[in-house]
Structure 1
Amino acid sequence: MNFLNDQSYPYSNTRHATYAKNGMVATSQPLASQAGLEILKKGGNAIDAAIATAACLTVVEPTSNGIGGDAFALVWTKGKLHGLNASGRSPKNISIDAVKEKGYEEIPTYGWVPVTVPGAPGAWAALSEKFGKLPLTEVLQPAITYAEEGYPVSPTLGKFWNKAYNNFKEKLTDSQFENWFNTFAPEGRAPQPGEVWASRDHAETLREIAETNAKSFYEGDLADKIDAFSREHGGFLRKEDLVAYEADWVDPIHVNYRGYDVWEIPPNGQGIAALEALNILKGFDFPDKESINTYHKQIEAMKLAFADAEKHVTEENHMLFTANDILSDAYGEKRRKLITDTALTPEAGEPAAGGTVYLAAADNEGNMVSFIQSNYMGFGSGLVVPGTGIALQNRGHNFSMDPKHVNALAGGKRTYHTIIPGFMTKGDQPVGPFGVMGGFMQPQGHVQVVMNTVDFGLNPQAALDAPRWQWKKDKKVDVENRFPHHLAQGLSVKGHDIQIALEPNEFGRGQIIWRDPESGVLVGGTESRTDGTVAAW
């Protein structure tokens, strides 16, 4: 693969990739990208830049993430790839029976029941302590400034903000949700594109996190405020759950795909679904990207991988099969044989036992970071801790209420998690970070981006701009409205229930940074389906 290739065919309207030597930050928000670049220019490394960008995104893209969400990271530094699982656990005193006692047969989307311990502040602190060069007080300053002084809302952000407001206005009528409206709709509506929005509470919270290396959030004043708010409204979360929180450094998992190692965080994340799909697909030849056969096999492999993930994936110590079992060549071959010339309805196999922001950052020292954080489903639970600007996630919504399921709700447990950072290497050299945010679109986006890069030689921008598909359930597949119609018709003939979707953001929002192994030049791409930008120097 030529990393400096500027091939964009057949996407003639694609933007060109971005090139730089000294550093690069790619995100869905220009202000956040510039914040990361500012930290690089002040002497910070890619890890510092990633933290600064992530914190800034909680302010300038609150529709997708927040201080009260989770995070994961893959960090390449000094010749090694490190993984960070900063997802939070369910409250210790929650259980299936306790939720049923509150009148629920299924875990609700909003309110206190789906709230789990936020991991994002802990991720920032852990990354800074292990790999950062600058103090958190300096790294978080851009985010603090934007929260305190305000910033003009961008077009895509305004669109999703308004959509969330209209949804919440209809559904969140209880008093516990009042502070969400006070914080994010202070004028009695969502801020419009071009209007300035600020949150001084958010700024003060970020400042307190920076000054205490996140200890206030888990052990101090901020933890007390979260605890008090939960008790007031009958929530399960307590300060003891926050005190017990710890971000975990983990060994990333991978498969080798045509000479390239593709890396993901191990379960409880769903990155294993992307790896299983690639493990299945590597047994096929794909001479042409724009062919019915290529798309058909991609979709079929993804369906099989999702079926396995839904049945088998949760926190690792609760799984019946290991990641190695699921990603073995033998199991990949077994699943590959199920793919025929017609669409299948996927079912999980049995291996042999043995609404998110994504950012990528790189510096001129060789450090590269793949980072993702989310509140889940946009703004999350609809709860904002009074006086803090902390919007709490609803990640617990992914737990199962079936006590026999591996991902069954239980106290102190991590749930099946949708947000996943990706990374690619070749031999002992880094290729770089990549990711596609957006719920269950994420592993599907990872597969499409990797194949666009490795199989079809597209540069980062073209790899992201290429029309996408998304498997939904059974045989239903959504395709973008610019997806070639003759291919959509051909897939329909093979038995796929093809639906043309009008909303481009349904298909995820991605970022990529590759490093040329010979020159060290960085080449990046950013999502054309949102307000994305690559900041570089």
Structure 2
Amino acid sequence: MQNTRYARSGMVCSVDHLASAAGITMLDRGGSAADAAIATNAVLTVTAPHMCGLGGDLFALVHDGRVSALNASGRSGSGADAGRLRAEGHTRMPHLHDIRSVPVPGCVDGWIALHSRYGRLPLADVLAPAIRLAKDGFPASPLMLHGAKVAATRPGGDDFAGVTAEGDLVRRPGVGRALEAVAGSGRDGFYLGEFGQGLLELGAGEYTAADLERVNADWVDPLRVRAFGHDVWSTPPNSQGYLLLLALGIADGLDLPPAPARSAWAHLLAEAARAAGHDRLAVLHEDAKDLLGEHEIARRRALVDPRARLKARVPAADGDTTYLCAVDGDGMGVSLIQSNASGFGSMVFEPRTRINLHNRGIGFSLTPGHPAEYAPGRRPPHTLTPALITRPDGSLRTVVGTMGGDAQPQILLQVITRLLRYGEAPGTAISAPRWKLGGTTGFDTWDAPDEMAVEVEAGTAWGDGLAALGHPVVERPYGTGFGHAHLIDLRPDGVLAGAADPRAMIGAAIGR
């Protein structure tokens, strides 16, 4: 299932061909990779509410000769009170139907920051394709159907009433108005306009006006590790990007087999992921530091046994998010990930615009004194893990990422290792079968870390070998919960080679 696409002067990859086409339109009009990424993401906030939206968060990496990182994840409101939740009997943050798991969404702040620094076209032009689709309608994707049926039963979920079949026309007029407000008045049009007022009313004390005036986008120092002769970059905490880099650093020093088809390959990478992530719950919070030292990588690598599974609590599982990437003719690359967290998010809708709100607050802890305890003005631990790869001379090699909840670092570990260590083409690396560790909801990895799910396709032969090494293996059909990864690779001759994940069904890598 090799689906590599090639281009010379620009490329966009995303989960939806309508979104990728909007991004390419920006490149055709002289826009930057940042313009293309924002246009693509804006369309996805309309057409993929089961993955992302204006009510969610955003992280991005940009290469324009150097690597910059953007953290546009929102903060909890001034009314955040862990003690009140504990008094109600909660031991963890509510997963659905509770406004307290909804930090102020950071997506729009992320767009404004990205466009202010790297945009070339007017923001109104960049958002125009998304506005048109929101107002005139778009065909429902096959991946939206199940969640749309549930969303339609929730207060504010009227946009999805009657969506029962692939291709049904969906209109989202409130989302269109919100996008027009951003196009005309920037962040204030969104956070201080119709959406913001509705959020204040819905929150009933969870947020204050000052919470919405505070910008939720910061340019931060990216994290980096050297692996397989390249520098791999990701975003720092509160992102879990360090898990990908730590696992790659561990894997780079292991005696990997000559081909990924061997069960030893899946075993060693899984053990690298276990060694990297067994203490994630304790150490990941927005102020975490010093997670990638050489001594720490070596210490964790020593935990890996090529003959048996590590008995430790480790990262895994799947979730709903969307990843996209863009490269322009000048070589600027953008790796962007944007998310509601769990499918349609909290299944709470802002009533005026009917924007569905994320539930990223589920990353907070309710343990008293925990550094990620739910409290006012805090960013929760985040699963979002964008990645970017540079050559030793600092030039851009690859923009890559995936959806997948807690499993994002594991999926990227496999894709990047195939690309860099084994020299596989993008389409081969993206479409190849995957494994992942534990969990059922996408965000409960730490409750069920032992199970190892293996994606079954013709030619996959990991199962028996992994079982012999102590892994409780569960075989699952191809494409059922193993993420949607996309990448664009810049070859030394300047040709762009990209791939959109076939698991996304309507994804597209489009070049120019």
Report TM bin, short chain: over 0.9
Map of 2:441 onto structure 1: none
Map of 2:172 onto structure 1: 199
Among 160, 181, 184, which residue is 1:208 paired with?
181
1:483–1:305 distance in 2 versus 1, CA, 3 Å: farther
1:193 aligned partner, one-letter code = E
1:389–1:503 distance in 2 versus 1, CA, 3 Å: farther
Residues 24 and 361 of structure 1 are in contact (CA less than 8 Å); yes or no, is this contact kept in structure 2? Answer: yes
Residues 343 and 475 of structure 1 are in contact (CA less than 8 Å); yes or no, is this contact kept in structure 2? Answer: no
Q: How many residues align?
A: 493
C-alpha separation in 1, matches of 2:279 and 2:88:
32
1:334–1:103 distance in 2 versus 1, CA, 3 Å: closer
| Structure 1 unaligned blocks of 5 or more | 1-13, 170-176, 349-354
1:496 aligns with 2:474: no
Map of 1:414 onto structure 2: 379
1:510 aligned partner, one-letter code = A
**CA shift digits 1:278-319 (9 cap, x unpaired):** 111111132222112211111111012121322201102xx3
Residues 149 and 198 of structure 1 are in contact (CA less than 8 Å); yes or no, is this contact kept in structure 2? Answer: yes
Map of 2:326 onto structure 1: 361
1:296 aligns with 2:267: yes
Among 86, 101, 111, which residue is 1:114 paired with?
101
Alignment of 1:384-533 (within 5 A): 384-427=349-392, 428-472=394-438, 473-482=448-457, 484=459, 486-502=461-477, 504-517=479-492, 519-530=493-504, 531-533=506-508
**CA shift digits 1:415-452 (9 cap, x unpaired):** 11011111000121100210011101211111001101
Among 200, 214, 223, which residue is 2:196 paired with?
223
C-alpha separation in 2, matches of 1:373 and 1:217:
17
Secondary structure (helix, strand or coil) at the match of 1:156 reads coil
1:336 aligns with 2:311: no
Residues 281 and 298 of structure 1 are in contact (CA less than 8 Å); yes or no, is this contact kept in structure 2? Answer: yes
Map of 1:309 onto structure 2: 280
Map of 1:139 onto structure 2: 126
Map of 1:172 onto structure 2: none
Alignment of 1:83-162 (within 5 A): 83-110=69-96, 111-162=98-149
C-alpha separation in 2, matches of 1:219 and 1:30:
32
| Structure 2 unaligned blocks of 5 or more | 315-319, 439-447
Secondary structure (helix, strand or coil) at the match of 1:470 reads strand
Secondary structure (helix, strand or coil) at the match of 2:271 reads helix
Map of 1:345 onto structure 2: 311
1:276 aligned partner, one-letter code = L
Return the offset for 1:398. 1.4
Among 303, 326, 347, which residue is 1:382 paired with?
347
Residues 218 and 245 of structure 1 are in contact (CA less than 8 Å); yes or no, is this contact kept in structure 2? Answer: no
Among 255, 262, 274, which residue is 2:232 paired with?
262
Return the offset for 1:154. 2.3
1:178 aligned partner, one-letter code = P
Secondary structure (helix, strand or coil) at the match of 2:278 reads helix
1:76–1:486 distance in 2 versus 1, CA, 3 Å: closer
C-alpha separation in 2, matches of 1:451 and 1:214:
39
Q: Flag as ranges the 4+ runs of structure 1 deviating above 4 A.
A: none
Return the offset for 1:212. 1.0
Residues 218 and 239 of structure 1 are in contact (CA less than 8 Å); yes or no, is this contact kept in structure 2? Answer: no
Return the offset for 1:102. 4.5
C-alpha separation in 1, matches of 2:369 and 2:464:
41
1:251 aligns with 2:225: no
C-alpha separation in 2, matches of 1:459 and 1:221:
46
Map of 2:445 onto structure 1: none
Secondary structure (helix, strand or coil) at the match of 1:178 reads coil
Residues 345 and 474 of structure 1 are in contact (CA less than 8 Å); yes or no, is this contact kept in structure 2? Answer: no
Secondary structure (helix, strand or coil) at the match of 2:144 reads helix
Return the offset for 1:146. 0.3
Residues 230 and 237 of structure 1 are in contact (CA less than 8 Å); yes or no, is this contact kept in structure 2? Answer: yes
Return the offset for 1:505. 3.7
C-alpha separation in 1, matches of 2:91 and 2:252:
42
**CA shift digits 1:10-68 (9 cap, x unpaired):** xxxx2331010121100000000001111111121110000000010011111101101
Among 72, 80, 90, which residue is 2:59 paired with?
72
Map of 1:274 onto structure 2: 244
Among 135, 155, 159, which residue is 1:183 paired with?
159
2:302 aligned partner, one-letter code = K
C-alpha separation in 1, matches of 2:260 and 2:456:
18
Q: TM-score, normalised by structure 1?
A: 0.89
**CA shift digits 1:90-126 (9 cap, x unpaired):** 1122121122345533311122120101000011111
Residues 82 and 375 of structure 2 are in contact (CA less than 8 Å); yes or no, is this contact kept in structure 1? Answer: yes
Return the offset for 1:229. 2.1
Residues 262 and 461 of structure 2 are in contact (CA less than 8 Å); yes or no, is this contact kept in structure 1? Answer: no
2:510 aligned partner, one-letter code = A
Among 2, 7, 25, which residue is 1:38 paired with?
25
1:522 aligned partner, one-letter code = L
C-alpha separation in 1, matches of 2:53 and 2:475:
32
Alignment of 1:20-31 (within 5 A): 20-31=7-18
Residues 99 and 113 of structure 1 are in contact (CA less than 8 Å); yes or no, is this contact kept in structure 2? Answer: no
Secondary structure (helix, strand or coil) at the match of 2:156 reads helix
1:246–1:475 distance in 2 versus 1, CA, 3 Å: closer
Instruction: Indicate the RMSD between aligned Cα atoms, in angstroms.
Output: 1.7
C-alpha separation in 2, matches of 1:485 and 1:42:
44
1:330 aligned partner, one-letter code = H
